[in-house]
């Protein structure tokens, strides 16, 4: 019975993490860039994205915590 309770809690957390977004600061122009996060793509994601302001490419490392907290690290490519 206790296991069932844990499962329900986990589902709630996943639902809260859906359709989320976060932001990073562009290393080139200093703008705060908001990016959408797809929680279905995994807890750890890494991809290259061009800054929409100055087109400077960044390697974004996204980590989604178990409690739904999103951490993003942007490094110049
Ligand atoms: Zn930029």
pLDDT tens track for 46-70: 999 999 999 999 999 999 998 888 9
CB atoms within 10 A of CB 50: 13
Q: If you search the block for the tokens 């860039």, which residue do you land on?
A: 33
- Domain of 20 in residue numbering reads as 2-76
Ligand 1: centre distance to CA 58 (Å): 9
Ligand 1: centre distance to CA 61 (Å): 17
Ligand 1: centre distance to CA 55 (Å): 6
DSSP 22: E
pLDDT tens track for 28-42: 999 999 999 988 899
Total domains present in the chain: 1
Neighbours of ion ligand 1 (CB under 5 A): 26, 28-29, 51, 53-54, 56
């Amino acid at each position: 019975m206790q296991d069932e309770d844990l499962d329900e809690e986990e589902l709630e957390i996943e639902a809260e993490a859906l359709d989320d977004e976060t932001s990073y600061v562009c290393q080139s122009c200093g703008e705060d860039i908001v990016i959408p996060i797809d929680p279905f793509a995994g807890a750890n994601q890494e991809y290259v994205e061009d800054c929409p302001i100055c087109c400077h490419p960044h390697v974004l490392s996204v980590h989604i915590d178990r409690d739904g907290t999103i951490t993003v690290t942007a490094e110049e490519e």
